[in-house]
């Protein structure tokens, strides 16, 4: 038996002692003068990071912040980043309304251009035990924490050999007197053995096994190794469904700081709750916790581990703990998407046991906004539209994904209404009919200067008269959403009003193979059918593909690689994986700008004009999309710095009975309005190869002075109209053998 138990002990101690779930961290919050600190929810971030408000700023303890009129001070903790360690620092922020007007290092008075807060926890990849721990080395643990634990749990730890006979006899006597089991005689080593190898069952046989294994552990391993294992193993509380293990994790959980920064009263509190982490929890039972903490402090004094002065000072400290911040649940779909993007060797076993730190691209503020907006807007839509009311388990679903178009970083991802009920991610796993959100790819193909030049310019007109095309499946007659035909319409209007017939005809003019090639180039990876109806979106694609393709347009024709993480770090071995910004030019910036200009028209005048009525100002481009039978409602839109896709529909084929502008657009509008504060920064840059020319809207000719109607239009250089507004045509006619320009110069020179 001893040989068998020895084998068990060695297997565990000489293998991986702990399975540590890998954590996913958000992109850091960056503070800088000019930032709207209320919009970025700075105080919320501080609280989630475990910072506690302090009544004074002098002195301001580590992990505390002090807010008073016009000033915010934050004693930021030191933190590690894959490429750089950020030191602890007191940040002084001068506030003017909701804006940070000045940012300084309070110690040196030096003005700072920018400062980081530590990344927030997005989530973790748990094993079946759902335990979370942060491994600590014994050298990192303050002496007073070790003293506190030994004082109350095993004061003769350094002297016994795994089993403390004196303590067992003492406990036996106490229990006999009490008439039941009131006191344990277990040493730290026995507790460790019990947690590692045995069941909680209380029997003599199990107790005997525990004692034998404790003796084996002590015989084989150093006291410090046993103590370190104990400090990392011990159960100390519950964060929702996650068990908090080890003093490292507990320090963050209770005090919002690393173990090395604990003060004596905090150490005593951790030692105090080992006996009953839930019954003595300082969150739910602060008085009991304080009583037990004081007992620990007294034991420490009795055993000569602290002096009377320290005892009195520590007992005077009230029990203060960080607010419990439940692990965010909004980002579960994102965690899955990230896992799928990691190389194959980061399988579930690695992610649930290796304790990796994954620095993600997620903007936790945008993620929370997205999750809240989706939940609230769907509830509102269900109330407003009887057709959307849940029937049994059938509920309308949604996806919202937001990217930074220049870098491809996923900033927010909501793959459905409730991850608990359905883990199917509708942003990255669901292929749905695209409908009209596909149309911009047709226009991009038409406007791109190919070998024979572009098919059309933005001044062109297209025919929206009834169309019938013969296909292998029989004749195909596209219909407009309003069941009307509109005759010859300006190209802009065809997209702004999302005319199906005009776009189907344009698809034929350009050629469906060219449309397919354009869509793939922009970022669509799903197979696309070579059928005429592709031009109006008869193709199943995922929202994330659409997000990428529109990001390419927003990014001036440079297609970004989608990124969910930046670095994967092993705390012991350093950076294992890095995902750099990758991008490739797939479309000239001139054509990309022309399509953006068309899509701005959709927002300003077309099917998405409701966006402006909601109060969103600044440069916004986008397209609504409603698939056949109104089964899918889409809105894909972008600003110079953000692209977002909203899809709404049922998982099973079922009509929504509503247009995208009624249900998908409001979700997008609210998300972007809240994300940007209602004012979109920047502008869509017009590249030098695009000329801005005033034209006569009726003819597309250049509008010169005196032309009765005019509007600005954009042209790739070399595609500008050569005709002029009709009223001026006769002036261009040669007279007396001289052209118009020559005559104009002569008049000008004569005036000189």
Q: Output the smallest distance, CB 76 to other proteins, in A.
A: 16
Residue 627 C-beta-side C-alpha neighbours within 13 Å: 23
CA distance 278 to 400: 38
Q: Output the smallest distance, CB 105 to other proteins, in A.
A: 13
Catalytic status, residue 210: no
Q: Which two tokens stand for residue 78?
A: 């030191």
| Residue 5, SS3 per DSSP | helix
Q: Which two tokens stand for residue 188?
A: 């730290």
Nearer to other proteins, 115 or 236 (CB): 115
Q: What is the sign, positive or negative, of the torsion defined by CA atoms of 339, 344, 346, 350?
A: positive
CA distance 716 to 339: 43
> Beta-strand (E) ranges in 206-344?
235-239, 242-245
CA distance 616 to 670: 9
CA distance 195 to 210: 10
Q: Which residues bind other proteins (CB under 8 A)?
A: 27-28, 30, 32-35, 81-84, 112-114, 116, 404-407, 409, 555-556, 558, 566, 575, 578, 580-585, 589, 640-641, 681-682, 685, 687-689, 717, 742, 745-746, 749
Closest CA to 401 of 626, 638, 176, 601: 638
Nearer to other proteins, 36 or 143 (CB): 36
Q: Output the smallest distance, CB 539 to other proteins, in A.
A: 28
Closest CA to 33 of 116, 118, 113, 105: 113
Q: Output the smallest distance, CB 584 to other proteins, in A.
A: 6
Angle ∠(147,149,151) on CA atoms, nearest 5 = 65
Nearer to other proteins, 267 or 676 (CB): 676
> What is the C-alpha end-to-end distance of the chain, expressed in Å?
115
Nearer to other proteins, 265 or 408 (CB): 408
How do the residues of the chain divide into helix, strand and coil, expressed in percent and rounded to 5?
A: 40, 20, 40
Q: Output the smallest distance, CB 580 to other proteins, in A.
A: 6
* Sequential DSSP letters for 585-632: E-S-HHHHHHHHHHHHHHHHTSTTTHHHHTT-BS--EEEEEE-GGG-E
* Sequential DSSP letters for 737-750: TB-HHHHHHHHHHH
Catalytic status, residue 436: yes
Q: Output the smallest distance, CB 547 to other proteins, in A.
A: 15
Q: Which of 118, 131, 153, 713 is catalytic?
A: 153
Nearer to other proteins, 118 or 589 (CB): 589
Q: What is the sign, positive or negative, of the torsion defined by CA atoms of 406, 347, 352, 573?
A: negative
Closest CA to 164 of 154, 152, 174, 173: 154
Nearer to other proteins, 14 or 584 (CB): 584
Nearer to other proteins, 204 or 749 (CB): 749
Angle between helices 188-197 and 2-14 (to 10 degrees): 90
Q: How far is CA 296 from the centre of its chain?
A: 43
The number of residues making up the chain comes to 752
Q: Output the smallest distance, CB 335 to other proteins, in A.
A: 21
Q: Output the smallest distance, CB 703 to other proteins, in A.
A: 20
The Cα-based distances of 715 to 13, 597, 621, 694, 705 in angstroms read 72, 11, 18, 10, 20
Q: Output the smallest distance, CB 411 to other proteins, in A.
A: 10
Q: Which of 45, 436, 533, 597 is catalytic?
A: 436
Examine residue 249 and say whether the peptide bond preceding it is cis (omega within 30 degrees of 0). Answer: no
Q: What is the sign, positive or negative, of the torsion defined by CA atoms of 735, 738, 739, 743?
A: negative
Nearer to other proteins, 62 or 716 (CB): 716
Nearer to other proteins, 459 or 716 (CB): 716
CA distance 506 to 494: 10
Nearer to other proteins, 259 or 642 (CB): 642
Phi, psi of 39 (to 5 degrees): -65, -35
Q: How far is CA 29 from the centre of its chain?
A: 12
Nearer to other proteins, 191 or 407 (CB): 407
CA distance 555 to 543: 18
Nearer to other proteins, 31 or 667 (CB): 31
Characterise 602 by phi-psi region: left (phi > 0), alpha (psi -120 to 50), beta (else): alpha
Closest CA to 135 of 277, 20, 16: 20
Catalytic residues, by residue number, are 153, 436
């Amino acid at each position: 038996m001893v040989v068998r138990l020895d084998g068990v002990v060695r297997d565990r101690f000489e293998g991986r002692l702990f399975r540590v779930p890998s954590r996913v961290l958000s992109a850091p919050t960056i503070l800088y003068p000019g930032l709207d600190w209320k919009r970025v929810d700075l105080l919320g971030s501080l609280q989630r990071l475990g910072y506690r408000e302090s009544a004074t700023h002098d002195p301001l303890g580590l992990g505390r912040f002090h807010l008073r009129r016009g000033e915010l001070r934050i004693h930021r903790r030191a933190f590690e980043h894959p490429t750089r360690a950020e030191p602890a620092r007191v940040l002084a922020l001068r506030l003017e309304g909701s804006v940070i007007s000045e940012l300084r290092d309070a110690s040196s008075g030096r003005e700072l251009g920018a400062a980081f807060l530590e990344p927030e926890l997005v989530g973790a990849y748990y094993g079946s035990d759902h335990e979370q721990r942060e491994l600590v080395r014994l050298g990192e643990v303050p002496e007073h924490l070790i003293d506190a634990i030994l004082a109350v749990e095993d004061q003769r730890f350094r002297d016994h050999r795994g089993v403390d006979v004196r303590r067992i006899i003492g406990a036996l006597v106490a229990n006999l007197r009490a008439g039941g089991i009131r006191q344990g005689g277990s040493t730290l080593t026995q507790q460790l053995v019990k947690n590692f190898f045995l069941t909680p069952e209380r029997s003599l046989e199990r107790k005997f096994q525990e004692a034998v294994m404790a003796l084996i552990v002590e015989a084989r391993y150093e006291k410090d190794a046993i103590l370190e294992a104990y400090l990392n193993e011990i159960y100390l509380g519950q964060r929702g469904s996650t068990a908090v293990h080890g003093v490292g994790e507990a320090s963050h959980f209770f005090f919002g700081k690393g173990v090395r920064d604990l003060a004596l009263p905090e150490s005593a509190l951790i030692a105090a709750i080992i006996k009953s982490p839930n019954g003595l929890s300082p969150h739910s039972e602060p008085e009991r916790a304080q009583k037990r903490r004081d007992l620990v402090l007294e034991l420490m004094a009795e055993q000569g581990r602290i002096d009377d002065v320290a005892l009195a000072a520590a007992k005077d400290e009230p029990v203060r703990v960080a607010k419990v911040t439940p692990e965010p649940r909004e980002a579960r779909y994102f965690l899955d998407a990230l896992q799928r993007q990691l190389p194959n060797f980061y399988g579930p076993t690695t992610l649930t046991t290796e304790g990796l730190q994954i620095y993600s691209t997620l903007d936790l503020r945008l993620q929370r906004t997205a999750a809240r907006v989706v939940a609230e807007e769907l509830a509102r839509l269900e109330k407003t539209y009887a057709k959307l009311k849940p029937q049994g388990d059938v509920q309308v679903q949604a996806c919202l994904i937001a990217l930074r178009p220049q870098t491809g970083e996923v900033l927010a991802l909501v793959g459905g209404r409730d991850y608990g009920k359905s883990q199917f991610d509708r942003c990255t796993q669901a292929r749905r009919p695209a409908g009209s959100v596909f149309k911009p790819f047709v226009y991009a193909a038409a406007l791109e200067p190919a070998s024979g030049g572009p098919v059309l310019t933005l001044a062109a007109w297209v025919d929206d008269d009834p169309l019938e095309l013969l296909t292998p499946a029989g004749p195909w007659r596209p219909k407009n959403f309003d069941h009307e035909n509109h005759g010859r319409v300006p190209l802009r209007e065809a997209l702004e009003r999302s005319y199906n017939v005009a776009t189907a005809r344009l698809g034929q003019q350009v050629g469906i193979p060219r449309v397919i090639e354009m869509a793939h180039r922009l970022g669509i990876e799903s197979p696309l059918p070579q059928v005429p109806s592709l031009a109006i979106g008869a193709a199943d694609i995922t929202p994330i593909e659409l997000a990428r393709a529109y990001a390419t347009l927003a990014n001036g024709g440079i297609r970004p690689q989608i990124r969910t993480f930046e670095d994967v770090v092993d705390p012991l071995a350093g950076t294992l994986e890095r995902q750099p910004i990758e991008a490739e030019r797939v479309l000239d910036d001139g054509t990309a700008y022309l399509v953006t200009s068309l899509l701005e028209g959709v927002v300003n005048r077309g099917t998405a004009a409701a966006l402006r009525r909601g109060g969103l100002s600044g440069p916004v481009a986008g397209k609504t999309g409603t698939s056949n039978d109104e089964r899918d409602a889409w809105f894909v839109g972008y600003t110079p710095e953000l692209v977002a896709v909203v899809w709404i529909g049922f998982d099973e084929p079922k009509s929504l009975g509503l247009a995208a502008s009624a249900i998908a657009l409001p979700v997008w509008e609210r998300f972007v309005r809240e994300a940007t504060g209602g004012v979109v920064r920047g502008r869509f840059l017009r590249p030098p190869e695009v000329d801005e020319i005033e034209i006569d809207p009726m003819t597309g000719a250049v509008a010169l002075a005196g032309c009765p109607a005019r509007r600005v239009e954009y042209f790739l250089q070399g595609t500008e109209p050569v005709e002029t507004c009709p009223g001026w045509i006769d002036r261009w006619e040669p007279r007396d053998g001289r052209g118009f320009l020559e005559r104009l110069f002569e008049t000008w020179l004569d005036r000189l």
